[in-house]
Structure 1
Amino acid sequence: MANYITQLNNYFQAQKASHTLSWVEYSTGPSHEIKWTVQCKISGEVKGTGVADSKAAAKEEAARQALVALGF
């Protein structure tokens, strides 16, 4: 699995703008079928949303979408 979260963090650290990156995480569904939704926000604007069975996978997808939105 590619590590989009690391790529995104590295990009913002290089830009000295890591303070503009934030995450919103929440789960839905019964405890035996939890779905995680993670939003990647840049300066308060949602740039990626991931939905998956694990929080880590949802965060990776949100980071991937944010990188695409940034032109990577």
Structure 2
Amino acid sequence: MSNAVTRLNNYFQSRQATHSVSWSEQLSGPKHQRKWTMQVKAFGELLGTGTADTKSVAKEKAAEEALVALGIIQSE
């Protein structure tokens, strides 16, 4: 698990709210050039979206965006 994903999970675990977090994924593009888009929501609110060539990198990007939205880290 990536650093941002771990931090996001730890944030919600510390608040006993892991059940409120959900991830969705979408795969698009031609077979030779796939793109993954991952979204993370908490309590039904979209917190982050990430798009990349791999699912894990897209999830990391979405988690980073969520951490910024929650005020845990600052945008770079």
Aligned match of 1:14: 14
Amino acid at match of 2:41: K
Count of matched residue positions in the alignment of Structure 1 and Structure 2:
71
Amino acid at match of 1:26: Q
Deviation at 1:44, TM superposition (A): 1.2
Map of 1:1-72 to 2, 5 A cutoff? 3-72=3-72
Of all paired residues, the percent bearing the same amino acid is 56
RMSD over aligned Cα atoms: 0.9
**Would you identify which runs of 4 or more consecutive aligned residues in structure 1 move more than 6 Å?**
none
- Please list the CA deviations of residues 34-68 of structure 1 after superposition, one character each: whole Å capped at 9, or x if unmatched: 00000010111111000000000000000000000
Distance across 2 between alignment mates of 1:22 and 1:32: 29
TM-score (structure 2 length as normaliser): 0.90
Unaligned ranges ≥5, structure 2: none
